[in-house]
Structure 1
Amino acid sequence: MAAKPVIVGYVGGYKGLVDMNMIHPSKLTYINYAFVNVIANRAVLTNLKTDTINLKNLAVLKKKDPSLKVLISIGGWSWSKNFSDAVLSDTSRKAFAQSAIAIVRKFNLDGIDIDWEYPGSLGAKDNIYRSEDKQNYTLLFRSLREALDTLQNETGRKMLLTAAVGGFPSFLHTTDMGKAQQYLDYVNLMTYDLDGGALTQHHTSLLDADRTIKAFAAAGVPYNKMLMGIAFYGHSYIVKKDSNRGLGDSIVTHGRGYGYSYIKDSLIGYHYYRDRHAKAAYWYNPTNNEFITADDTWSVKLKCQYVLYHKMAGVMFWEYVSDPKEYLLDEIDNIIK
């Protein structure tokens, strides 16, 4: 019998205290708490005071719904600078793994998610990266898996190890995901933020996700370990005047970001479109020339149906606070669960 698909939501504590009232654990399988920093080759709770409160409050949610699991997510876009150093040797990898385990043990959590953006390539400005990252990325997961197995034997509870990975095929050039996946319970494909360049394009289309999923499968990652990434937020751009619908037009400047609840409830003067080839939604305002690319309930439904058809492990989304009215989560919950 196939495992029930999972729903993983990222909850960000990097800005301070999290409003736990917005979280409904019955709609989730796992929460990934973002983020834990990497400092001096160790996993570190940079905002110790608020992180401590957040993690204790998440433990209360687990008591309300015992099936809910909570993981720490280490890294992210802003805190991946020091991963390369932390995994450079067997000694440093083991020390890093023990520092991460210490956080899991202290807060009675259920595992670790690694969000290294990106091994073997730059990511954010000033990130450290090396060609050796390719093999060390796999060895990092081996060290973490060994440490988690030890903790699992101590507690008698399943300890999870997951990775948030670049949602684009070139991520496979600087990693060996076929080997790395053997240590992982899930591979979270960040199939969003895929726009860029001089012309507007979709940042989270099913067409792009399909290419990435097939590439990861060809590299040796089983479908039943992959999670489809869903964006709870949009990107916006101001395009040149007299554009038709904004898609594929020249970008004048970047606009503000929008969470989906705001897009659905508060946009005025915007026309809504569906790109049925890319299976992605977008909005355009001919008055101010603003183009917005985002997931919506239609595109999320298509993504969830894709997950079920291909017997993928489930879906994950970034991030909870961007859709406080849970329009997208309810769509996911209705289809996946």
Structure 2
Amino acid sequence: MRPFRHRRLTAVVALATMLLTAAPPTAASAGDKPDRRAGYHRVGYFTQWGIYGRAFPVKKLDTSGAASRLTHVNYAFGNVSEDGRCYVDGGPGEGDAWADYQRPVPSEESVDGVADAPGQALNGNFGQLAKLKAKHRDLKVLISLGGWSWSTYFSNAARTDASRKAFVASCIDLYLKGNLPGGDGAAGGPGAAAGVFDGIDLDWEWPNWAGEPGNVIRPQDRENFTKLLAEFRRQLDAYGRTTRAHYALTAFLPANPATMDAGYEGRKIFKYLDFATVQGYDFHGGWDAVTNQQSALRVPAGAPDNPDFSAEVAIDGWIARGAPRDKLVLGIPYYGRGWTGVTGGGNGLFQPATGPAPATFEPGYEDYKQLKTLAGNGYTVHRDLRSGHAWLFDGTTFWTYDDPAVVLQKTLYIRRAGLAGAMIWSLDGDDDNATLTKTIGAGLTTW
């Protein structure tokens, strides 16, 4: 079986390389000998809530082989208070301190096989991330702030020089210095999480642009985002001089060119960022009336929307606005978007649908590990090799997703375009063998 699998992978690599080479050059694909770069970032988001319904503890990053293929783990998420501070709160909708650092992790879920002891200062996901770093010495862990649900008050935090200084100081105190609420015999306390996090990822969705309903939005967000990055860089460097460490600063950036223009000062922001991850998914979904791609490398022929979104459109958009290609990390989804009640026949693409497809946790959203089981079980896999996307269709229900072949094609695009690497949302969507993460690792190995 092994020689056959090797020949099959070689054929896929050769085909993907041919397709990328044959593609018309764009701003992103015009890099000068990008394969000679020293290495690629491989950034995976670990979700705070993944330990529950998805039964995905930190330990799985080790046992699956994912951790050895990653350079960074972004912990999702840290919250921002109305008065502009980083904070941890166990209140409903405000946070989950239990998952973060209070939950005593049993031996069977522990990275090193040792259960958390009663009364120790650091338990939960934070404690397990510390153990993961001890086992994988080159792995960096960042706290990601905001996300779709917790970007409500970023604008307040970034509004003035004083608010920016106070916000950044609170984040460094909480996450880098590790001064967690608690102590006195309970989990937490001064310095409890010191050394867990190696930097900060800003996931503000979005400056001066609508995200979740209720988000505070101001026209000044665009320039204030740049000022906020400058303040983070200043304070992170100052703290790093006391610990003799470099603390990374990264940001998650949108795929929509209109959002880029409304909320970001293009070239300026990259002066302060180590790198930025770019949204490479959610281009379409069950909110649309017709089936479509959610993460295609290029806009497919016959797409009903013009202009439309794609990974290449997003990357080219940032490069056109002054982003250095070697600071752009392309986001890759470990989930699919689906529709049901599809009519019109054919292979199901660009056809009317009645609504989001039924799924495990959220209508219209399903993890890769579940979608992979559908192929051959009533569903047919379809591919558009030129556009770099795949989908499943059973005559009624349609799922657009990234499988290993699509992921590999994207890694080759990353190499050819001279980008900085790949980002994953989110690690708990992969199967128990970390198939997609291993594919990224193989595709971004420096030859």
Give the TM bin, normalised by the shorter chain: over 0.9
Residues in 2 aligned to 1:92 and 1:15: alpha-carbon distance in whole angstroms: 32
Provide the residue aligned with 1:19 in structure 2. 57
Residues in 1 aligned to 2:353 and 2:268: alpha-carbon distance in whole angstroms: 40
* Superposed displacement of residue 277, structure 1: 3.2
Alignment of 1:155-304 (within 5 A): 155-174=243-262, 175-196=264-285, 197-207=288-298, 208-255=310-357, 256=359, 257-266=365-374, 268-286=377-395, 289-304=396-411
Amino acid at match of 2:232: L
Amino acid at match of 1:48: A
- TM (normalized to structure 1)? 0.96
Amino acid at match of 1:331: T
CA RMSD in angstroms, aligned pairs only: 1.4
Q: Deviations over 1:8-56 (max 9, x none)?
A: 0000004556512210321110000000011131112232232122112
Q: Deviations over 1:152-194 (max 9, x none)?
A: 1111112100001112222221111311111001110011011
Asked if structure 2 preserves the Cα contact closer than 8 Å seen for 1:168 and 1:191, the reply is no
Asked if structure 1 preserves the Cα contact closer than 8 Å seen for 2:50 and 2:57, the reply is no
Matched, 1:6 2:41: yes
Asked if structure 1 preserves the Cα contact closer than 8 Å seen for 2:75 and 2:141, the reply is yes
Q: Percent identity?
A: 33
Residues in 1 aligned to 2:38 and 2:257: alpha-carbon distance in whole angstroms: 26
Is the strand fraction higher in 1 or 2? 1
Asked if structure 1 preserves the Cα contact closer than 8 Å seen for 2:51 and 2:57, the reply is no
Asked if structure 1 preserves the Cα contact closer than 8 Å seen for 2:279 and 2:314, the reply is no
Provide the residue aligned with 1:135 in structure 2. 223
Amino acid at match of 1:269: G
Asked if structure 2 preserves the Cα contact closer than 8 Å seen for 1:16 and 1:47, the reply is no
Most deviating of 31-40 and 275-284: 275-284
Asked if structure 2 preserves the Cα contact closer than 8 Å seen for 1:237 and 1:291, the reply is yes
Of residues 60, 64, 81, the one that matches 2:152 is: 81
Asked if structure 2 preserves the Cα contact closer than 8 Å seen for 1:22 and 1:324, the reply is no
* Superposed displacement of residue 334, structure 1: 1.0
Asked if structure 2 preserves the Cα contact closer than 8 Å seen for 1:239 and 1:249, the reply is no
Provide the residue aligned with 1:330 in structure 2. 438
Asked if structure 2 preserves the Cα contact closer than 8 Å seen for 1:11 and 1:321, the reply is yes
Structure 2 unaligned runs (5+)? Answer: 1-35, 89-94, 102-123, 179-192, 299-309, 360-364
Residues in 1 aligned to 2:220 and 2:314: alpha-carbon distance in whole angstroms: 24
Alignment of 1:63-74 (within 5 A): 63-74=134-145
Of residues 75, 84, 97, the one that matches 1:48 is: 97
Provide the residue aligned with 1:314 in structure 2. 421
Most deviating of 34-43 and 233-242: 233-242
Residues in 1 aligned to 2:38 and 2:219: alpha-carbon distance in whole angstroms: 37
Query: Aligned with 2:354: secondary structure?
Result: strand
Structure 1 unaligned runs (5+)? Answer: none
* Superposed displacement of residue 115, structure 1: 0.5
- TM (normalized to structure 2)? 0.73
The count of residues paired between Structure 1 and Structure 2 equals 335
Q: Deviations over 1:129-155 (max 9, x none)?
A: 111110011111111111110121111
Larger C-alpha radius of gyration, 1 or 2?
A: 2
